[in-house]
Structure 1
Amino acid sequence: MKESEVRMQGSLEGYDLIGDVHGCGATLGSLLERLGYHQRGGVYRHPRRKVIFLGDLIDRGPRIRLAVSIARRMVEAGEALIVMGNHEANALAYCHRAPGQPGREWLREHTPRHNRIIKETLEQYRDHPQEWEEALAWFLEIPLCLELDGLRVVHACWDPPLVDALRREYPDARIDADFLAASVVPGSQASRILDRLTRGIHLPLPEGVVIQSGDGFTRRSFRAHFWAREPQTWGDVIFQPDNLPGDLEAHELTAEQRSRLCYYGPEQPPLFIGHYWCEGIPALPTSNIACLDYSAVKFGRLVAYRWSGEQRLDADHFVWERVPREEQARPRPWEIDFD
């Protein structure tokens, strides 16, 4: 191991970080097997490594219960860590009532758009209500970010002032029901923290301009990244598979838009994120940042990065499983006996 590398504690060789699963539970089992994890006693284990899940276990995919079961069992057995994704945060707010908030029954309103996002999850848990309640309780225990020796993990964006503000109130980065309720109040500190860490930076499109996203949603903003040192245009910061309409990539960032951005420089520890629906062969946007969301549930890749202490990341450390299109071709979930 190089002098610059971080030595693992005890017999731990390193971490295998896994991007957004989104209900591709059987493919997750296959990826873990590829990484050398084998199921013993209902838990995937590796003799020298642990997993870190980057959140968004739920919604959209065909085996949501399996995905949650695999991850939760690993975390509770000490074989994995996890950070919260925006879909876990959405589910918590969707399923928590909003007492004392006039005109609002639920923290996340049950609009057609919100109903559509969580539809598959609720359907797959419909006949297992107790299991869903237990999953929600577990989601609330998941930290919003992790900082270990030599690496950082967050679902969407590491914003240092907001991470520091979170840790002042919640040193282990695990929120509670009060924080969740406060997070739906526009402009609140809780709202800023949860939105930035789990959803990242969004810049609004001009009035009347929309993006018809590949997942069927109409979007009036675009996702921006946070590793451009001195960005000048929208094209310098856009980070999503959907292109901007017309010539908007050349649109200059205003001072107000720049103020919304944050910056994660190359001198910072390696950072692992998900969330951004990347496509194609996994690649590194910078030498110290890896995005592991490669659109698994859109028949892309379920991607892991094998980290063993290196401070300069290496694209050769990506490992992935393709998600097959045909339901009958999906790997069978032989790993976990649900019932």
Structure 2
Amino acid sequence: MKDTTPLYDIIGDVHGHAELLKKLLSKLNYEQIDGIWQHKKRMAVFVGDFINRGPEIRETLEIIRGMVEAGTAHAILGNHEYAAILYHIKDSGGTYLGRHISGNRNQIIKTLGQFKNDKELWKDHLRWLRTLPLFLELGEIRVAHAYWNDAEIGYLKEILPQDKLRKRLLREIHENGHPAAEVIYRLLKGLEYRTPADLILKDTRGMARRTFRMNWWESPAGKTFRSLSFGNKFVLPDYSIPQEIMPRFEPYPEDQPPVFFGHYCLSGCCAIPQSNLCCVDSCVATTGKLTAYRWKGEKKLTEEHLISVQD
């Protein structure tokens, strides 16, 4: 019997680098037909973060949206798209859910600049972004932007609508201390370790660090701050984490379905930190490198299926 398992090419954070995206799609044997990139036998999957930072944000959105609407790709929201949505929604008191402070403005300024002469088109893209899911279960694989936890995914399935993130729901979640806000934050940004107020943790350059991104697939028991860290641009000391301040979370088991994710801006290592986990974010804005994983149905992921293009 012929195997009918859908085959996917999972593409990392594009961040407005449309020329590199087209180069990668071509390398993956996609063709542009009637303006839409497509493959005869495979489907692309975008892990989020396709806006901000790069020089061709508008064209990147056009490519990905065109593919999704034509059924030649799937896409999920990254933290940059979700933040852009909140940046444009006011709460009941007239304050934007994504506050218009300097850090948030700096993140989105390039995107807004590319739509300064066509604000209606940007609004239309924002409406489309609210139709995208926060995660995907595609048969034998799972896709999230930064983190996967079965219980938390199950919780979001119960409370989030299937068709669209409606403004009313987003106001409810982010105005009233709804527990979903923290769950969504973890899904989009991963697990972060926050040190106690009386702990001074310095990296190897002597800089004080209060928070850092953690790996979420291994037990923290017996780990050092350095070995618990994942996807940070600094190196932490190799001190064992005291039991009293050890983080508590459920690691992602190695016997569960493969999860593909982005977000962590990896510049040269650790793309497959566990046999069923793959980070396809090769930090395009810094490295000029865009990466995809060509999945062929395997349960154990291997680096030979990683395909990249470079500026």
Q: TM-score, normalised by structure 2?
A: 0.90
Structure 2 residue ranges without an equivalent (≥5): none
SS of residue in 2 equivalent to 1:258? coil
Q: Does 1:149 align with 2:145?
A: no
Counterpart-to-counterpart distance in 2, 1:7 and 1:253:
50
1:253 positional shift: 5.2
Match of 1:242 in 2: 233
Question: What amino acid sits opposite 1:23 in the alignment?
Answer: G
Match of 1:252 in 2: 241
Count of residues paired in the alignment? 305
Match of 1:215 in 2: none
Question: What amino acid sits opposite 1:8 in the alignment?
Answer: T
**Closer, same or farther: CA 46–106 of 1 in aligned 2, 3 Å:** same
Match of 1:328 in 2: none
Match of 1:335 in 2: none
Choose which of 103, 124, 140 in structure 2 pairs with 1:134. Answer: 124
Choose which of 239, 255, 262 in structure 1 pairs with 2:250. Answer: 262
Between stretches 51-60 and 276-285, larger displacement belongs to 276-285
User: How is 1:79-158 mapped onto 2 (pairs within 5 angstroms)?
Assistant: 79-100=72-93, 105-158=95-148
1:300 positional shift: 3.6
User: How is 1:160-199 mapped onto 2 (pairs within 5 angstroms)?
Assistant: 160-170=150-160, 172=162, 175-185=165-175, 187-199=177-189
1:241 positional shift: 3.7
Match of 1:304 in 2: 292
Counterpart-to-counterpart distance in 1, 2:150 and 2:29:
34
1:161 positional shift: 1.4
Structure 1 residue ranges without an equivalent (≥5): 213-217, 325-339
1:198 positional shift: 0.7
1:298 positional shift: 1.2
1:220 positional shift: 4.0
SS of residue in 2 equivalent to 1:303? strand
**Closer, same or farther: CA 115–282 of 1 in aligned 2, 3 Å:** same
Question: What amino acid sits opposite 1:90 in the alignment?
Answer: A
SS of residue in 1 equivalent to 2:146? coil
Question: What amino acid sits opposite 1:27 in the alignment?
Answer: L
1:256 positional shift: 5.5
1:203 positional shift: 1.1
Q: TM-score, normalised by structure 1?
A: 0.83
Counterpart-to-counterpart distance in 1, 2:82 and 2:63:
19
Counterpart-to-counterpart distance in 1, 2:231 and 2:304:
23
Match of 1:35 in 2: 28
Counterpart-to-counterpart distance in 1, 2:188 and 2:95:
23
1:309 positional shift: 1.0
**Closer, same or farther: CA 171–106 of 1 in aligned 2, 3 Å:** closer
Q: How large is the RMSD of aligned CA atoms in angstroms?
A: 2.4
**Closer, same or farther: CA 255–38 of 1 in aligned 2, 3 Å:** farther
Counterpart-to-counterpart distance in 1, 2:78 and 2:61:
13
1:173 positional shift: 8.2
Match of 1:221 in 2: 211
